[in-house]
Amino acid sequence: MDAELDAYLTRRAAVLAKIRQMLITCLRLQGHPEDIDPDTALFGTGLGLDSLDAVEIVVALEMEFEVDLLDPVMRRLSLRSVNGLVDLVLAAEESAGART
């Protein structure tokens, strides 16, 4: 595996672990972070979250990862699943790195 891909996969796994822990903590979910499937929907039949939970997730993302969800379309897409949150954080980090 090339070094760039390996670094990306390592970073993705680290962000996924932090997001799982963030969800457990800020939403007071039962269970262990590793029990949350990355493809799980956040709303509806997935984790069954509601609009208040969405606000808590947005605030936690801003505090933990310094990610702003100002664009309503991006917010809606990112809040669909755990992987959507991971993608959002990684994209924000990449964008911030490109600006420096």
Average pLDDT over residues 22-48: 92
What's the distance, CA 64 to chain centroid? 10
Domain layout of the chain by residue ranges: 3-99
CATH topology of domain 3-99: 1.10.1200
Mean pLDDT of 23-33: 93
- In this predicted structure, the answer to whether residue 96 has a pLDDT above a threshold of 90 is no
Residue 25: which of 63, 68, 60, 50 has the closest Cα? 60
For residue 50, the one-letter residue type is: D
In total, the chain counts a number of residues equal to: 100
pLDDT value, residue 80: 92
pLDDT at 100 > cutoff 60: no
* Model confidence pLDDT, tens digit, residues 41-66: 999 888 999 999 999 999 999 999 98
**Calpha distance 21→50 (Å, rounded):** 19
Express each pLDDT in 70-89 by its tens digit. Answer: 778 888 888 999 999 999 99
